[in-house]
Structure 1
Amino acid sequence: MTSNKLRRQPLYEQIKQLLLRRIAEGEWQEHAALPSEWELAEELSVSQGTVRKALTELVGEGVLYRHQGRGTFVAEAASDWGEARLQTIGTRAGRQEALMQELLGCWKANAPEEVSELMGLRRLVPMIRVRQLWRLGGQPVALDDAYLPAERFEGLEARWLRQAGGVYATLQRRFGVRPKTVMEQMRVATLAREEAQLLLVTTDTPALAVTRLSVSIEGEPVEWRMRYCLTQQVAYTHLR
């Protein structure tokens, strides 16, 4: 972020961006306590009110959380899986079984036309493509392909994803970006041969195709994700 751009921002917004950058650089890990409002105000040479407004926005955006009487803490990064659950068909509630996430690859690729259009990018813009497999009870149940702007996330590599435990945790820890899903669409789809092989099914097996668009706190598109989910034995469920 340039100094000119910072000067055009309100002071609390500059403090907010500074705190995000420090979190991204690992100064405070997940569930670590930040210094008090007074300490931050003194360190940054601003008023306590300015610090409080910056912290309040970060709490509202899910980057931080507060414990009454204890302070402000760094929130856990969002899961790549999202808000949906896989649970027994026909049940209204119940515990979601633990999904195991497996990174299959991370490489550069040109954006598919659908992706570039939805993200407001030029055609064939370089992207980082991340492929992940999800297992339930050891069996493949879903396959993800995530696309991220290569210019925005320059240097992102597979070892970061493995260390952090996923795309969203990596974006928060390495780049100070906490993705927020703003669109999710579902449809029935047939699987291409490669996807079918990875999910250990035949190409005529129907799958639930879930597309998801996520943006940064500032509203900048940062990820488009396609998920093929097998739902013959379980339901893909959003609980409200």
Structure 2
Amino acid sequence: MHAKSLHRLPLYQQVKLQVLERIAEGEWASNELLPSEWDLADQFAVSQGTVRKALTELVNDGVLYRQQGRGTFVSAPLDDWAGLAMVSPGLLAEKPDRLLREFLGVSRVHAHEELAAAMGLRRSAPLHRIRMLWRMQGQVVALDDVMLPVERFDAIDTRWLRQMPGVWSLLQQHFGVRLRVQAEQWRAILPGREEMQLLAVADGVPLLQYLRLSCDMQGVPVEWRERWCVTDKFGLIRQGNP
């Protein structure tokens, strides 16, 4: 945010944004203890109460967490799979392998009627479309199209997408927005030609399509995700509630 715009905000919001910026720049790593509220108050030249209000909002957003008697810590970035995992068919107790993400690109699209209604946007509102592949044991197993409103996240940088493990962690670290799943749906579907090529599947082979709407901690819709999963060799499970 521009310095002049920052100074128009209430003091606690200025502190909140500066803490987010320092986390994004790597000054404080995941699960690292922040300086005390008094030390931060000295650093930002504000009152301890102002710092506490800023940190409390970041705790409520899930960016930070508190431990009684120890202090305030940086939360670990979230996982784009939100509790879902892929395992060998029938082996429900199998520990899932780590999925590797391949960022394909980001472009701007316009919200169609269904998507706009789900996200509370006007029809044809501009969206970022982020496309990613997921690999497991060297094999492509999923393709994601992630839609984010440009109005709220205009400053998304492709460098961030390449550096971060996923979109959820990017939104948390760079914007202070922690997501939770609001609604989800699965269905078997025949993919389009482009999806077939990216996932290396034959014509006529159905894929498992996963649709998900996620919101922030205040219940405002933030992300629409379409995921195509190749499930001929791996099954999809949920490990717990996101």
- TM-score norm. by structure 2 comes to 0.83
The answer as to whether partners of 2:103 and 2:131 remain within 8 angstroms in 1 is yes
The answer as to whether partners of 1:26 and 1:173 remain within 8 angstroms in 2 is no
- Deviation string 1:72-100 (CA, Å, 9 cap, x unpaired) is 21111111222101112222322111111
The runs of 5 or more residues in structure 1 that have no matched partner are 8-13
Counterpart position of 1:30: 29
Distance 2:205 2:165 in 1: 29
- AA aligned to 1:45 is S
- AA aligned to 2:179 is P
The answer as to whether partners of 1:85 and 1:236 remain within 8 angstroms in 2 is yes
Query: Which residues in structure 2 correspond to 1:95-134 (within 5 Å)?
Result: 95-134=95-134
Counterpart position of 1:187: 187
The runs of 5 or more residues in structure 2 that have no matched partner are none
The answer as to whether partners of 2:61 and 2:176 remain within 8 angstroms in 1 is no
Distance 2:149 2:130 in 1: 11
Quote the offset at 1:125 in angstroms.
Answer: 0.8
Counterpart position of 1:196: 196
Distance 1:147 1:88 in 2: 30
Percent identity, aligned pairs only? 46
Moved more, 26-35 or 101-110: 26-35
- Deviation string 1:6-25 (CA, Å, 9 cap, x unpaired) is 66xxxxxx74x455422431
Query: Which residues in structure 2 correspond to 1:134-213 (within 5 Å)?
Result: 134-213=134-213
- Deviation string 1:46-96 (CA, Å, 9 cap, x unpaired) is 44xx76576456445432234555432111111122210111222232211
The answer as to whether partners of 1:23 and 1:176 remain within 8 angstroms in 2 is no
The answer as to whether partners of 2:63 and 2:177 remain within 8 angstroms in 1 is no
- 2:168 match: secondary structure: helix
The answer as to whether partners of 1:65 and 1:72 remain within 8 angstroms in 2 is yes
Counterpart position of 1:44: 46
Quote the offset at 1:40 in angstroms.
Answer: 4.3
Q: Cα 1:193–1:176, aligned 2, differ >3 Å: closer, same or farther? A: same
Distance 2:58 2:156 in 1: 24
- 1:185 match: secondary structure: strand
- 1:25 match: secondary structure: helix
The answer as to whether partners of 1:23 and 1:29 remain within 8 angstroms in 2 is no
Quote the offset at 1:35 in angstroms.
Answer: 1.9
Over the residues paired in the alignment, what is the CA RMSD in angstroms?
A: 2.6
